[in-house]
Amino acid sequence: MTDSGLAPLPAADRPEAAARLRDALLAASFTADGLLELLGAPAYAALARSETVPALRATRGDTPLETLVRLFLLQQPVAHARVAAVLPVEEAVEAGWLVRVGGDELAATVDVRPYGGPGGEDWFIVSDLGCAVGGAGGIGQHAEGVVLGVGGASTTLAGITVRTPVAAALDLGTGSGIQALHASRHATRVTATDLNPRALHITALTLALSGAPAAELREGSLFEPVRDDEKFDLIVSNPPFVISPGARLTYRDGGMGGDDLCRSLVQQAGERLNEGGFAQFLANWQHVAGEDWQDRLRSWVPRGCDAWIVQREVQDVTQYAELWLRDAGDHRGDPAEYQARYDAWLDEFEARKVKAVGFGWITLRRTGAAEPSITLEEWPHPVEQPLGDTIRAHFERLDYLREHDDAALLTHHFRLVGEVVQEQVGLPGAEDPEHVVLRQHRGMRRATKVDTVGAGFAGVCDGTLSAGRILDAIAQLMGEDSVRLRDQTPAQIRLLVEQGFLEPMG
């Protein structure tokens, strides 16, 4: 064990050992698909909840895949002979991936979890023992430098990230390296930073074992390791955003008061972006008594950046404190100590007049527009991941709407996007609906109310006729004044374009 109480890590400077280990894992079908086939859906899903009993029951045989699951996922010692039949044992021991235990058994020094890439890649996420799933479940209270694996926050950020080819990408607070791994698919150069040197070491292992190009790894907090003259086309961060009293756990507590860490991260990102570049974060923010949360977040947006901020969830301070106390395993310890820590959280919130905490996504895009756009919304409803293309398209639509006034809008052609349905809402038997709702079944899965003209307009948008000609035809059918419709409807068209129901053609 190291001074921190954590196990020694495999060598990060042995790429040949990682490559041969990768080959052996793949040869045994130690992949996301292979696991699902071996374990079955219930046991596979249980692993994502850190429940190992179903997987233990499913791996009582002696096949190569069962051996690897027990070794790397379930942290069970395995007989030397069984491991030697699957892996290059001596090299794996020498490089530090395995250690000898007991009489004649081997054990893994790290969690290795298969992870399917978006293009069908067979990747592997390395993390500390017992921490393959994002959420330390109590391990973190004994080891401050613990490095977690893939959790819901990690996959959410990976799913919302805009994936266009870029020259330079920056992963701030890389942890186990999942964001850097994704960025390696479409960025020529990837830089990954973390305050925890152990995280940088594990990121190097994740990339090597996944067969991905190495990243430039830098130790330090937030933008500290980044040179003043460096700019990036993509910045991503799943930072230690938990709003807590103190910085007890490195993997989640930022060490700044309140939501200052997230605010600083967002405010400093603008000057680090190239024109057109994106910065995307997960964040928590305070809901302070007497203050609108949207005004608070609006003040975070740096000059020269468009922003789209989506609040996905809000918890009152008691729910929030309980969530993170349980994450650290404090609820399983001494009741008096748990109560004292709970009190400390509530004291901190009371002192800051915080009533609730919001969680969501923040996306910035560097723009040369004279008046950048800031969109803030609350959207707790289900969405369809990945959302990277949806987010990119949102900013492209902003550009379009900025560049076209109402008169220009009426000369353009539009197309209703796929999988939009119309719902008529009203009392049973009523001759006319009270209102009409358009609903998306892809992306953000939005629903928006429209009037009869808006519904009719959207329904015939197939790119054939200009918006003005469609409105003229609707006016003739309804016996309305076409000039009045041309004057009143552009606002509704803008909303439908902004929310992604209509797509400008050409």
Indicate the angle between helix axes 452-459 and 467-478, nearest 10 degrees.
130
At residue 139, the pLDDT reads: 43
- Cα separation, 449 vs 203, whole angstroms: 46
H-helix segments, 234-386: 260-269, 293-298, 317-327, 335-351
Percentage of residues in the chain with pLDDT exceeding 70?
96
* pLDDT tens for each residue of 164-183: 999 999 999 999 999 999 99
Q: State mean pLDDT over 349-356.
A: 97
Question: Worst-scoring range by mean pLDDT, 205-219, 253-267, 295-309?
Answer: 253-267
Residue range 32-45: mean pLDDT, rounded: 95
pLDDT (0 to 100) of residue 427:
80
Bridge partner list, 354: 288
- pLDDT recorded at residue 140: 40
Enclosing H/E stretch for 361? strand 354-366
Question: What is the average pLDDT score of the chain?
Answer: 93
116-130, 144-158, 405-419, 421-435: segment of lowest average pLDDT: 421-435
Quick one: CA torsion of 32, 154, 169, 362, rounded to 10 degrees? 140
Between residues 342 and 329, the one the model is more confident about: 342
Q: Is the peptide bond before 42 cis (omega within 30 degrees of 0)?
A: no
Query: Strand 354-366 vs strand 273-288: parallel, antiparallel, or unpaired?
Result: antiparallel
Establish whether the linkage from the previous residue to 386 is cis, with ω within 30° of 0. Answer: yes
**Residue 177, phi-psi category: left (phi > 0), alpha (psi -120 to 50), beta (remainder):** left
Give the residue carrying structure tokens 């209703």.
416
Least confident of 128-137, 203-212, 395-404: 128-137
Give the range among 25-39, 347-361, 416-430 with minimum mean pLDDT: 416-430
pLDDT at 429: 75
The CA distance from 26 to 29, in Å, is 5
Q: What letter does residue 109 receive in the DSSP assignment? A: S
Name the token pair of 197: 């040197």
pLDDT level of residue 247 (50, 70, 90 thresholds): low
Residue 335: is its pLDDT beyond 80?
yes
452-488 tens-digit pLDDT = 999 999 999 999 999 999 999 999 999 999 999 999 9
Cα distance between residue 90 and residue 29, in whole Å? 21
Q: What whole-number percentage of the chain has pLDDT above 90?
A: 84
What burial class does residue 403 get, using C-beta atoms within 10 Å of its C-beta: 0-12 exposed, 13-18 middle, 19+ buried?
Answer: exposed
Tokens matching residue 387: 């959302």
Among 47-61, 239-253, 441-455, the least confident range: 239-253
Question: By the 8 A CB rule, do 204 and 10 touch?
Answer: no
For range 287-302, the mean pLDDT: 98
What integer pLDDT is reported at residue 136 of this predicted model?
A: 43
pLDDT in tens, 298-309: 999 999 999 999
Model pLDDT for residues 138-158, shown as the tens digit of each residue: 444 446 788 999 989 999 999
Distance CA 485, CA 474 (A): 9
| Chain length of the chain | 506
Alpha carbon distance 502, 493 (integer Å)? 8
- Find the range with the poorest average confidence among 6-10, 116-120, 286-290, 385-389: 6-10
pTM of the model: 0.94
Q: What is the pLDDT of residue 133?
A: 65
pLDDT for residue 328 is more than 90: no
From the list 38, 77, 237, the residue with the least C-alpha distance to 157 is 237
pLDDT of 250: 67
- Phi-psi bin for 173: left (phi > 0), alpha (psi -120 to 50), beta? left
Condensed to tens digits (0 to 9), the pLDDT of residues 54-94 reads 999 999 999 999 999 999 999 999 999 999 999 999 999 99
Which letter does DSSP use for residue 230 in this model? Answer: -
- Mean pLDDT over 243-247 rounds to 82
